[in-house]
Amino acid sequence: MSYEAYKLIHIFGMYLLFFSLGGVALYSINGGKKSDNKFKAFVAIFHGVGLLLLLVAGFGLMKFRDISHSALPVWIILKIVIWLAFGGLLTLAYKNAKYAKILWFVFPIMGLFAAYLAFYQPS
Ligand code: HEM
């Protein structure tokens, strides 16, 4: 697969992830409970598939940048940490409207930081 194809998949994963994060955050802020969410299966699918595509395409992209999977640079490790946080924080947004309000602002900043790391590759 080409570099462009991996990037497209990486970005599509991002769209799926952010769709689920934004949807859940707004739903939770407005008092929604997970058990009443009529679309919860699709939220879970978008979140899970989005994360999976990001991870697989992220590791695929590394080979075009000559990054060895066994000696990861700091910026990649930070992206993996952000990826893990995106995995856990959906549940927090679902469970707690107060945290969901904070995460509404934190999620885009985390996305910005992940993109910054990819563009500048600081170390
Ligand atoms: C395990 C997690 C991740 C890994 C290993 C990873 C790895 C990479 C790599 C190797 C690139 C290519 C950099 C280049 O072209 O030189 C990239 C690009 C990018 N990543 Fe990730 N990434 C991960 C997670 C994320 C997450 C969670 C986001 C945002 C939510 C994200 C956003 C981006 C963006 C915006 C680009 C730039 C794409 C472009 O150049 O068009 N990544 N990532």
Distance from the alpha carbon of residue 35 to the mean position of ligand 1, in angstroms = 33
Burial 66-102 (b: 16+ CB within 10 A, else e): ebeeeeebebbebbeebbeebeebbebbbeeeebbee
What pLDDT sits at residue 60?
97
Q: If the chain, 123 residues long, is cut into consecutive pieces of 10 residues, what is the mean pLDDT of each piece?
A: 97 98 98 96 98 98 92 96 98 97 98 98 89
Q: Are 19 and 49 in contact (CB under 8 A)?
A: no
Distance, CA 66 to ligand 1 centroid (Å)? 15
Residue type, 1: M
The rounded Å distance from CA 68 to ligand 1 centre is 15
**Any ligand 1 atom below 6 A from CB of 86:** yes
